[in-house]
Structure 1
């Protein structure tokens, strides 16, 4: 699909997709971050386990999706704060942010390109069902117009999010939806460990996350090592 030239084209496309009862797969090939003055965008939805699952990232590859996984590993960061507390989180200069706010996330984020962030909850029926997060590689505030457009995009997402939520709640991470399952290997590794060690899946996932944090490892890379038997976590 040809990238849209302006935000109005994107918003019109999302309205048509919602009218056709489509899900977040309608975003799969779109490039939107730059239209909002951002370097990256992520969409996370609450899954059946009550945790956030990364469903979409623009750009698809690169360090930005790892920032999301970093928050998932550490249990700390702007996306989690927005989703847990139901308000928009904005930090114009991560290097100058009080480390007490995200004591685990901030030092790790300084090793990434991110220097500014905005994260907003996706809410429906009084409940938070996900979060939209934008990153910039340079510090600075969004203009009033950019901030307004960011929230217009968030509102336009909601019908598609609601279409995607039932399959996610049922444990389907997006296969066949045109969406990428960013943490599929993590879930597979947790399942493997649960069977191998005869422990509940959530305990196996907690063990993976703790090991990744303790050894300063990417959770995704750690999962791959566990699946290929290059690492034992027993």
Structure 2
């Protein structure tokens, strides 16, 4: 993985040249009507000296909806799903504050910064994070988050390039996306990573005769104590767990 903008990238291409080509390609693709998932090739994160990148759009009630990740499985998805479960973390901080969030060494972060997220990340390979809000005026509509498995900040050049990518992705989202909350696929190539959670929330709300928000809170609380939220949602949808598991 590149460690700095002057390190040699894939195929011996300097990452600054590769980044310029990536950003130009993404800009052209978005102008031509491509969605974010089709505008960015696999390996995008590595060109920014990151191990993974994720893109979350925000639902009308402020919840993050994971839409794209590079790579499309693994650490980034696990960390974003963790934040969705526990309700704090860098992506959520960027969404709520409307400001860029950086933590170059998660192991040295103040414990009260993300009191639920930080202890959970101690068992993962994550060591640094940067999260950029994508905004229309003063309204944050999405967050681009990058994670590293080694501590240390991005170089200024890489940080500027990541902001350029955020602006390109914002244009793509405005063009292509009305944030879905029911798991319906879109035509932009975006994957709805939380579709099963939405479906399980609706199922449990109906079965327990409670509001959707309360059903989601009970799911999150149970997942925090018993395992991944997506796995729990799948267990309810496949009837391996009865709805009354979440009864007060």
Do they fold alike, i.e. is TM over 0.5? yes
User: Deviations for 1:70-123, whole angstroms, at most 9, x for unmatched residues?
Assistant: 001111000000110011111111011111100000000111110000011001
Task: Measure, in 2, the Cα distance between the counterparts of 1:84 and 1:207.
Answer: 22
Matches within 5 A, 1:31-50: 31-50=43-62
Q: Is the 8 A contact 2:181 2:198 kept in 1?
A: no
Q: What TM-score, normalized by structure 2, do the two folds share?
A: 0.86
The yes-or-no answer on 1:228 pairing with 2:238 is yes
Task: Measure, in 2, the Cα distance between the counterparts of 1:145 and 1:134.
Answer: 15
SS at match of 1:103: coil
Task: Measure, in 2, the Cα distance between the counterparts of 1:27 and 1:57.
Answer: 13
**C-alpha distance 183-172 of structure 1, shift in aligned 2 (>3 A):** closer
**C-alpha distance 39-173 of structure 1, shift in aligned 2 (>3 A):** farther
- Rg larger in 1 or in 2? 2
Alignment-derived partner of residue 194 in structure 2: 183
**C-alpha distance 27-111 of structure 1, shift in aligned 2 (>3 A):** farther
Q: Select the structure with the greater relative contact order (CA < 8 A; seq sep ≥ 6).
A: 1
Matches within 5 A, 1:45-124: 45-124=57-136
Segments of structure 1 that go 5 or more residues without pairing to the other structure are: none
Q: Pick from 206, 209, 217 the counterpart of residue 198 of structure 1.
A: 209
Q: Is the 8 A contact 1:25 1:179 kept in 2?
A: yes
Task: Measure, in 1, the Cα distance between the counterparts of 2:70 and 2:181.
Answer: 25
Task: Measure, in 2, the Cα distance between the counterparts of 1:40 and 1:143.
Answer: 17
- Name the Cα RMSD after superposition: 2.0
User: Deviations for 1:99-153, whole angstroms, at most 9, x for unmatched residues?
Assistant: 1100000000111110000011001132110101000001112112211211121
